Structure 1
Amino acid sequence: MGLEVAGTARALGKAVQVLESAPRLLQRSVSPELAAHVLATHQAAGTQVTLGAQVGPATVVAGRVTALQVNGQAVPVDELVLGIGGTPDTALAQAAGLACQDGVLVDAQMRSSVPGILAIGDCARFAAQGCGWAPAGSATLRLESVQNANDQAKTAAATLLADADQPSAVPPYAALPWFWSEQGAMRLQMAGLMPVAAQPDGTLAPLSTRHRRPGANDQSFSVFHYLGDRLVCAESVNAPMDHMMAKKLLEAGKHPSPAQLTDPAVALKTLV
């Protein structure tokens, strides 16, 4: 959200500074290669980006934040946007007796531990064993995206309409996750989940091998992620057709070779 606001504000001619406490942008969401491109694009647009920022107390005058301590220096502030991520508030669910663990625990049909109560969307941690795209060892997952909430709503509706004595008649939730972000003139689209592992310093690093497909210009490309010979994720920048074809490949469980995917002479639709 912060980078989307930054891109829009800069396009309106505002002076913008982005403060990121992590050593790179979008650490949880995208590869280092894509993060580097996002950083360069924002900087080229005139946005000041501070990585590894240590933010201290704010100066408040008449109820307004007028300055912020950043790396020991006072930075003047006109408007402050604070994007700190989301944590599911499960207090009500727990009070109602629902099992929770970083979200409301649900099965593959979106049913909670209490009969008759379902949960979907950002707050739902769902059974992922039947999801072929899920990272290895992921018994449950919680996803924060509009697409995920919409697709889970379809499963939940089917569960509510199914006969109580035939719960298996509802196909388990297994929709491929995909995400997008529009930051100024830059459109990022992701399909699948990037496998990551925590490093000793607390940062996250992708476990996949990554292969880049050039786009129509230097502001357009895609990065395909592999685990062994399996395609597991695709990131695209200003390349909507790449994104669409990557989704189809992942949904179909097809795994073309990296050489095929990264050859601009090979139309991706021929691999689906």
Structure 2
Amino acid sequence: MYLLDGICKVFNGRTIAVRELDLKIRRGEWVALIGPSGAGKTTLFRLLNFTIPPTSGTLLFDGLDNRHLSGRRLREVRRRIGTIYQQHNLVPRLQVVHNVLSGRLGTWPVWQAVRSLIRPVEVDLAADALRQVGIADKLYERTETLSGGQQQRVAIARLLVQDPEVILADEPVSSVDPALAAGIVKLLIELSQTYHKTLLMNLHSVDLALAYFPRVIGLKDGMISFDLPTAAVTDEHLTALYAGSQTEVAGEEIFSRAERSFARSCQPRLTN
């Protein structure tokens, strides 16, 4: 499904977010990413959903090289990848049905998207998605009236109508009550199992990662600290992962002068 070989991402020519990263994700896997703030997890997800390109290295999705994707082919690949964010990215004033159906925008022509804003189309699809996430009665509610946990379920329903092959969940439970977090993680895993989706989840909670995922990747300073079956993750692994984490600035990691030299070394490979 995914193959990353020597991936490096540098911002502004000197800020290294991901460095020389090798990673393989097989179709249908459930994988949790953990690590301190500023470790590069969100940047990695932005690479995986093709929001940003790597500075250097090879990124393959289902055998397709990111360097050869643009225009229509890039849009087609992006439709196969669904992302859930901690901020939900919903339009608060719209009814829930509209937010859910926005997951269809990648497949609708413009006229149908405009028409659906006036009178929702494919309502049955939205209703079924909301039923699967446990809030079928919220179809015509204004989204801003829902609780944080309910809004996250709307975002998951939107993903269901998109019907991607891969689900990237970037801190999906950080903005909900801890008591609800496990339920949302479990829901995403159950949906992935039912519909045979590949699931990658970025989590601050180590407990949730170890409780629900068979594979855990620890990311620190833009590099993989460990990539192990859950049963093999020890207290020593976790201590090393979170000890002495780097300062985070605007979601990107700031490194030493020597490492800025490494950042410059990535640049020539942009033309490869």
Q: Give the TM-score of the pair, scaled to structure 1.
A: 0.23
Q: Give the TM-score of the pair, scaled to structure 2.
A: 0.23
> Quick check: which one's helix share is greater?
2
Higher RCO, 1 or 2 (CA under 8 Å, sep at least 6)?
A: 2
Question: Based on CA coordinates, which of the two structures has the bigger radius of gyration?
Answer: 1
